[in-house]
């Protein structure tokens, strides 16, 4: 059965979704695709009927006529779903990574994927820059903001700041538009790390405050609202 010794940590290649009602399956696939986009993770999402072989993160509906597949010896994770919370107790026999009560929400999906982060960490898309003649790859999700400088730009993360000779406009072209937006002539921010937009200021998770000019504030707010619509359904 899935779980135990048959479900070890390691790189997975895709996400598989099975719900016996097509509408529920389409919705969950949509939530997971939004998660991959917002988290900048290179994982494809497949309905179980079209899933390729290989290690996977599986979301399986216990309310359908089928049982979760046996995938002994493969790396992966198994999340079980049901409209009845009491089925969580019976699901223990499958040794799942987690149990979700339907209808699944984006927060449920987000928390589930965090529980198996070790499986998809190597699938994180990265921003590659040359700093002091050394090529460095920084996961997009870890980039908080990028600042243009006279000699290139500075990439800020929670743990370090990396200098790059590449001009900001060229680096910006390689940043995912869903997650990043320019908020000043010399600043590009990761919307995941925006904590608040108040007055004419934008506040980031590392405590940075960036002022917003009149000409750009409306565009920043629009980009942030699009991000929140994907992340929280607002």
Neighbours of 219 (CB within 10 A): 13
Phi, psi of 50 (to 5 degrees): -120, 10
Q: Are residues 115 and 130 in the same domain?
A: no
Neighbours of 198 (CB within 10 A): 9
Low-confidence ranges of the chain (pLDDT < 50): 1-9
CATH number at residue 44: 3.40.50.2300
The tokens for 162 are 């990396």
CATH number at residue 159: 2.40.50.1020
Q: Are residues 88 and 146 in the same domain?
A: no
Phi, psi of 17 (to 5 degrees): -125, 130
Q: What is the pLDDT at residue 234?
A: 58
Q: Are residues 144 and 100 in the same domain?
A: no
Q: Are residues 90 and 133 in the same domain?
A: no
Q: Are residues 118 and 11 in the same domain?
A: yes
Q: Are residues 48 and 151 in the same domain?
A: no
Q: Are residues 103 and 129 in the same domain?
A: no
Instruction: Give the burial class of 163: count Cβ atoms within 10 A of its Cβ; 0-12 exposed, 13-18 middle, 19 or more buried.
Output: middle
Q: Are residues 46 and 154 in the same domain?
A: no
Q: What is the pLDDT at residue 1?
A: 27
Q: Are residues 32 and 94 in the same domain?
A: yes
Q: What is the pLDDT at residue 6?
A: 31
Q: What is the pLDDT at residue 2?
A: 33
Q: Are residues 118 and 135 in the same domain?
A: no
Note every long-range contact of 197-202, with CB atoms under 8 Å and residues 24 or more positions apart, other chains counting. 197/221, 197/224
The tokens for 115 are 């529980």
Asked if 17 and 31 count as a contact pair (C-beta separation under 8 A), the reply is: no
Query: What range does the domain containing 12 cover?
Result: 4-122
Q: How far apart are CA 12 and CA 32, in angstroms?
A: 15
Show the 3-state SS of 58-111: EEEECCCCCCCCCCCCCCEEEEEEECCCCHHHHHHHHCCCEEEECCCCHHHHHH
Q: What is the pLDDT at residue 3?
A: 32
Q: How far apart are CA 148 and CA 184, in angstroms?
A: 10
Q: What is the pLDDT at residue 50?
A: 94
């Amino acid at each position: 059965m899935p779980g135990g010794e048959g479900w070890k940590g390691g790189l997975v290649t895709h996400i598989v979704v099975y719900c016996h009602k097509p509408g529920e399956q389409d919705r969950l696939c949509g939530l997971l695709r939004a998660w991959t986009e917002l988290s900048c993770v290179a994982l494809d999402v497949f309905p179980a009927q079209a899933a390729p072989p290989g290690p996977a993160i599986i979301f399986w509906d216990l309310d359908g006529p089928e049982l979760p597949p046996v995938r002994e010896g493969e790396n992966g994770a198994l999340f079980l779903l049901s409209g009845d919370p009491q089925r969580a107790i019976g699901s223990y026999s499958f040794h799942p990574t987690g149990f979700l009560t339907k209808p699944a929400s984006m927060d449920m999906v987000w928390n589930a994927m965090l529980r198996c982060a070790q499986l998809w960490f190597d699938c994180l898309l990265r921003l590659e820059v040359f700093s002091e003649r050394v090529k460095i790859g920084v996961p997009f999700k870890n980039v908080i903001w990028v600042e243009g400088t006279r000699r290139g730009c500075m990439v800020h993360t929670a743990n370090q700041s990396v200098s790059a000779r590449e001009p900001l406009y060229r680096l910006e072209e390689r940043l995912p538009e869903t997650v990043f937006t320019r908020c000043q002539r010399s600043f590009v921010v990761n919307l995941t790390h925006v904590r608040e937009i108040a007055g004419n200021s934008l506040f980031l998770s590392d405590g940075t405050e960036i002022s917003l000019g009149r000409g750009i504030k409306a565009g920043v707010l629009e980009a942030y609202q699009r991000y929140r619509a994907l992340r929280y359904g607002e």
